[in-house]
Amino acid sequence: MSDPEALLTSLRSMSDDDLHHVAEAVRQVQVERAVATGDLDAIIGRAFETGFGRDGLGVLPWIEGALVVCPGGLVAKSRTSHRCRFVSVDDVWVWDSGLLLREDKRSSPGADEGFRAIALIPLVDGTSLDVVTGKARAGGHSVDHVVSYAVRGGELVEVAQRSVSAHH
């Protein structure tokens, strides 16, 4: 629409129910465009090549076309000890998210046990992501660091970063 003010006027005149339907329609169009963005196999293949650090954990998510690429992984030293980094989308793990378009998992290379995963979600304004880094020792799991993002204006914007101490 070429006139943003006319669009705002029209939206303001709608009932709450109509606004909800418009918001859902916009979200659906964004998902459809993300799926049509390109070759998901190729995007995931490239992400497996570049989406992991020397520590074996996923790097921070990034945008590719109309998709957010979310690497995650787990590196285990034993059955009771591991390090991990995964993405939470709108307060649920990416693999449980209603926005998940696709996730591929592969065994980690090298001597350590574990796996790597690449998840793709559509670039939808208002979506929040948390990149959670943690570890497990002797059966207990703890969070070490969280980097939070929001999708705003088609961009992934960092909104917070916090380290979590064992005392909290």
CA atoms in the 13 A half-sphere facing the CB of 114: 26
Residue 147 pLDDT:
97
| Torsions phi, psi for 65 (to 5 deg) | 65, -125
- 102 domain residue, yes or no: yes
What kind and span of H or E run contains 44?
helix 40-50
Give CA angle at 56 (167, 155), nearest 5°.
80
- 5 domain residue, yes or no: no
Closest residue by Cα to residue 126 from 96, 162, 160, 156: 156
CA pair distance 76, 92, nearest whole angstrom: 23
- 107 domain residue, yes or no: yes
Task: Give the 3-state secondary structure of residue 101.
Answer: coil
User: Which amino acid is present at 75?
Assistant: V
CA pair distance 130, 150, nearest whole angstrom: 9
Residue 73 pLDDT:
95
Counted domains in the chain: 1
Residue 166 pLDDT:
58
Q: What is the pLDDT along the chain (168 residues), one digit of tens a residue?
A: 678 888 888 889 989 999 888 888 887 887 777 777 778 899 999 999 999 999 999 999 999 988 999 999 999 988 788 999 999 999 999 999 999 999 999 998 766 789 999 999 999 999 999 999 999 887 788 899 999 999 999 999 999 999 986 554
- 92 domain residue, yes or no: yes
- 14 domain residue, yes or no: no
- 111 domain residue, yes or no: yes
Residue 84 buriedness (CB in 10 A; 0-12 / 13-18 / 19+): buried
Q: Which two tokens stand for residue 113?
A: 């046990």
Parent domain of 82: 37-163
What kind and span of H or E run contains 153?
none
- 10 domain residue, yes or no: no
Q: Which two tokens stand for residue 153?
A: 């204006």
User: Which amino acid is present at 88?
Assistant: S
- 8 domain residue, yes or no: no
